[in-house]
Amino acid sequence: MPKDKQLANTRNIGIIAHIDAGKTTVTERILFYSGRVHKMGEVHNGEATMDWMAEERERGITITSAVTSCDWLGHTINIIDTPGHVDFTIEVERSLRVLDGAIGVFCAVGGVEPQSETVWRQADRYKVPKIVFINKLDRIGADFFKAVKMIKDRLGALPLILQIPWGVEDNFKGVIDLIKMKAVLWEDEMLGAEYSEAPVPEELAEEVAKYRDLLFETLADRDDLVMERYLSEEEIPIRELKGAIRNATVKMELVPVFCGAALRNKGIQPLLDGIVDYLPAPVDVPPITGSNPLTGEEESRPAKTKGPFSALAFKVMMDQGRKMTYIRIYSGTVKAGSPVYNPGKNLNEKPARLLKMHSNKRERISHASAGDIVAAMGLKLTSTGDTLCDEQKPILLEPIHFNDPVISVAVEPKSIQEHDRLLDSLGKLADEDPTFKFRIDEETGQTVISGMGELHIEIIIGRLEREFLVKVNQGKPQVVYRETVTIPVEHEGLFQRELAGQEHFAGVRIEISPLPRGSGNRFVNKYRDPELEEEFLDAISHGITEAGAGGTLMGYPVTDVQTTLLDVKVKETSSDVMAFKAVANMAFRAAFQKGAPVLLEPIMKTEVLTPEEFTGEVIGDLNARKGKIEQIVNTGTSQALTANVPLSRMFGYSTALRSVSQGRGTFTMQFSHYDDRE
């Protein structure tokens, strides 16, 4: 197959959803029916192909995004199965950054749950076209049309229903295909490989006609050819119809909706057809853009195998102590053993081996080209978010956005001899996961690890013991606060010292003032003197940034503060960069102390799903934790509560929620913003 034809027949897709919507089960079925695996692994048995980590198999959840590929109708489909748990959104974030399309999996009972909203918004931010699979139609309480309405209302998407269910709950038999106008029936529930098409059942004829009309009406608004034929009541050929749906999907104007029950092996083959028919190939999406590191000008790289090489490293993993880097290639070709250039770090790297991944199994390949997602061994200094490219035609792609950790725990090795091994192991884990950080506390000498939530920290400690054989004791979780000022303050600082017989002099007058929550820090220069050397101004800015790394209350990072430079004092023979950096640092810290500083604590957006009869107890418990209830939505069988709660009050909440809801309540929690500590 010619290379660019191969590119047009490639699909890079991710499977995104709320925890427990059935993402991994859907992936297992896709791999089985496409012939990639010969036995379906089940999440509940701890045998899922894509959940290969011991921690994933024990808990029955996805923790790390796994990459695999399969073939369907002459197309290569590269799939990334992503986690649903909010502590691991970095895995979703970095996967969506490199994907061309996504399948949103929704449970027919729960519909659009809190975390599905988060991942959907992440996909929107990266402009990733999507199709939807409404799963679990065999479950009690399943309601396909309610789930579709939630997609429209909660996600602001325009669903295009291509299938409706044939039966529901225990009577779920198959689906009605509104494009072919056929009923699809799965005969063999054990394997689901055999299915047949039949005429639309008479009892569903009216409903099918209604939704087929709706399909044409929705599409006619977005495609002139469909509108012409629809208004003149002409038959629209299936090929034309699919082309119109594909165009609108790739432009993100609408979202095709499929349905089924993955665990009962129903609905997966038409979903595979939908991936091929409607989701974009690398050549269908706009070329990746970046900046030329030499000129700073914006450049783009169309998806071509013959063009200059460009790729993004989106994930780093430790494989038996060696570093394995996952890369998405946007243009050109890379060969094992040939050098590549990392423009962000200005160095050359050499991928010793290239591997095509199937979960944690691998196949060695000699080269990879545009559209491929592969793993490379031997990239020693490349980390998550780095660009790799051709040194003669350099480009710097936009890096990946990471959230800062919000929870910290002190750890120590159980035996003192393992201290160095602990630090080495933590370094390797931090390389893999940019949302995990560790440091040695200068005052106490303790090793402090920080992550996105209690489960995240728990998994890190589990991996330390299981993979790196380092047993640790851990302290109680601590919240990572921020510091800010509440009133504007002016301060003049002077630095005048003699060091090694040389006088160093610098003076600055600055004002620091509070900014609205979530603004971050800002430096404004109001001192306009063309004779002030640029390097002195840079030194002042660096000194202020360094001082902001730790406030004067408890040493936490400073946020939401504007520093304005008002005046500068210079002595021709004595002023230098070191003096300006030092005076700016001292002036900022002195001003901060006078600015009525306060601690800000992380506020978590918490969504709780509880049966109606326990709503009162759940609200009472959240109020006791100083939570502010934002919204209560009736989802039919239960109540969904949204609240903003300080993180410090949420430790151990899963146990408390189980006890007030008789084990039937579930919740998700993610960082929302920093606010004053009460």
Q: Is 85 annotated as a binding residue?
A: yes
Q: Is 138 annotated as a binding residue?
A: yes
Q: Is 21 annotated as a binding residue?
A: yes
Phi, psi angles (nearest 5°) of residue 150? -65, -35
Residues 241, 215 contacting (CB under 8 angstroms) = no
Q: Is 22 annotated as a binding residue?
A: yes
Q: How far apart are CA 491 and CA 40, in angstroms?
A: 68
Q: How far apart are CA 134 and CA 117, in angstroms?
A: 15
Q: Where are the beta strands (DSSP E) in 171-234?
A: 174-177, 182-186, 195-198
> What single letter denotes the amino acid at residue 413?
P
Q: Is 333 annotated as a binding residue?
A: no
Q: Is 382 annotated as a binding residue?
A: no
Phi, psi angles (nearest 5°) of residue 23? -60, -50
Q: How far apart are CA 395 and CA 494, in angstroms?
A: 43
Tokens representing residue 496 in the block? 């005048």
How many other CB atoms are there within 10 angstroms of residue 440's CB atom?
10
- Residues 6+ away with beta carbon under 8 Å from 436: 405, 429, 430, 449, 450, 451, 456, 460
- Residues 6+ away with beta carbon under 8 Å from 68: 27, 31, 36, 49, 50, 78, 79, 81, 357, 358, 359
Tokens representing residue 615 in the block? 């709503």
DSSP, collapsed to helix, strand or coil, labels residue 455 as helix
Q: Is 430 annotated as a binding residue?
A: no
Q: Is 174 annotated as a binding residue?
A: no
Tokens representing residue 552 in the block? 């004067």
**CA neighbor of 177 nearest in space, from 204, 150, 203:** 204
Q: Is 17 annotated as a binding residue?
A: yes
What strands, in cross-sheet order, belong to the sheet with 522-525? 489-499, 502-514, 561-569, 522-525
Q: How far apart are CA 204 and CA 174, in angstroms?
A: 13
DSSP assigned state of 599: E
Q: Is 358 annotated as a binding residue?
A: no
End-to-end alpha-carbon separation of the chain, Å?
A: 65
Q: Is 124 annotated as a binding residue?
A: no
DSSP secondary structure string for all residues of 25-61: HHHHHHHHHTTS-SS---GGGT--SS--SHHHHHHTS
Q: Is 23 annotated as a binding residue?
A: yes
Which helix (H) or strand (E) element contains residue 122? helix 114-125
DSSP, collapsed to helix, strand or coil, labels residue 565 as strand
Tokens representing residue 448 in the block? 């402090």
> What single letter denotes the amino acid at residue 578?
M
**CA neighbor of 326 nearest in space, from 303, 289, 355:** 355
β-strands 478-479, 407-413 pairing: antiparallel
Which helix (H) or strand (E) element contains residue 523? strand 522-525
**CA neighbor of 52 nearest in space, from 427, 272, 319:** 319
Phi, psi angles (nearest 5°) of residue 635? -100, 15
CA dihedral for 645, 647, 648, 654, sign (positive or negative): positive
Q: Is 82 annotated as a binding residue?
A: yes
- Residues 6+ away with beta carbon under 8 Å from 129: 100, 101, 102, 249, 250, 251, 252, 279, 280, 285
Q: Which residues are annotated as a binding site for GTP?
A: 17-24, 81-85, 135-138
Residues in binding site: 17-24, 81-85, 135-138
